[in-house]
Amino acid sequence: MIYINLIIVFIVLVMIHEFGHYIVARFFKATVTDFSIGFGKAIFKFTDKNGTTWKIAPIPLGGYVKIKGLDSIFSNNNSKEEGSFQSLSLFQKISVLLAGSIFNIVSAWLALFSIFFFFGIVNFLPIIGSIMENSPASINDLREGDKIIEINNSEILEFSDIPQAISKKKNINILIERDNKIINKNFDLSFNHELNKFIIGISSPKEPIIDKYNFSKSIKNSLSFIPTYYYASFNFLQQSYKDNTLGDQLAGPIGIVKNADQMMLDQVRGVLFLFIVISLFVGIFNLLPIPLLDGGHIVYFIIRRIFSNSLPEFVTRVYLAVGITIISFLFIVVTYNDIFYK
């Protein structure tokens, strides 16, 4: 069931991404000849009144929109046949290329808003549910039911605040509430080499709380989540690079499933959150200035404009070779991690 949910999520976000390209291309009067979900020979297709053939193919590893003339963008053919991609202005070309990622990010925001407003966010109060034997928590007399109020002068509102509060700190000062009394404790943490971090040795309570938000707060929180997500992801990658573990952090579909909370993936809220995370990733990844990606195409068109729409053939070949090399390398690393590490 988990893998089926992942495939459905992937197909939906591909449809949204490609529909973004399609709708903006049509807005600028470009001719879209094909819209395909999946690769391979079509198992279902029909052609609409605008001449677009809509297809469903059996290999659900992506999809594509074929715009008239798009397959010859890397040639020096400057023909601007009506309805072709080449006939569009630079602004229109960039708009078409940006649209896929923008649609992914907007759809992620809508899904996030739905979680806040309709389903609510699962949170755990900062109450100790259980304690590991011989852990710092056990040795220093923390007990089940203790409510953690503050760690190192950082207020703890949810259990998920605790890892950030103790991040990379060997010694902590902790305020807990027990039997309506405030208790202050100071002790050293133990370093877990497998997790590569300091730990207290506690787990969350078994029963979560569900926080639902009103309309205005749902909009505010869902909008603020997106830049926060990207900022946190950037910091994580930056730290992984410094720790020389960046390659180990890359994961593909198999790794995503292995690392996901499998119980959550069987619930609507969990599937929506998986859709949000992958959509935000696809949205920003496709805008990277890597040849063959949308961002790489944008850079290519800007460079061509600088050189009056004419580049030496060897420059284009090198550009494409670099893109193929980078994408192939990422694919190999991700697949290797999925099989052997994740």
How does pLDDT run across 20-77, given as a tens digit for each residue? 999 999 999 999 999 999 989 999 999 999 899 999 999 887 889 999 988 777 766 6
By CB atoms closer than 10 A (0-12, 13-18, 19+), residue 171 is exposed
Are 62 and 40 a contacting pair, CB within 8 Å?
Answer: no
Task: Provide the 10 A C-beta neighbour count for residue 29.
Answer: 11
Ranking 141-155, 183-197, 226-240, 254-268 by mean pLDDT, the lowest is: 254-268
For the chain, the structural domain boundaries read 2-119+274-340, 130-210
**d(C-alpha 104, C-alpha 98), whole Å:** 10
Q: Is 121 helix (H, G, I), strand (E, B) or coil?
A: strand
Task: Provide the 10 A C-beta neighbour count for residue 73.
Answer: 17
The H helix count followed by the E strand count for the chain is 10, 14
* CA nearest to 258, candidates 196, 333, 338: 338
**Residues 253-290: pLDDT tens digits?**
555 555 555 445 447 777 888 888 889 988 998 998 88
Please, what CATH class does the domain formed by 130-210 belong to?
Answer: mainly beta
**d(C-alpha 45, C-alpha 22), whole Å:** 17
pLDDT at 243: 62
Residue scoring higher pLDDT (130 or 327): 130
Q: What is the mean pLDDT of the chain?
A: 84
Backbone angles phi, psi at 82, to 5 degrees: -55, 130
Give the C-alpha distances (Å, rounded to integers) separating 24 from 19, 79, 281.
8, 21, 21
Task: Provide the 10 A C-beta neighbour count for residue 326.
Answer: 16
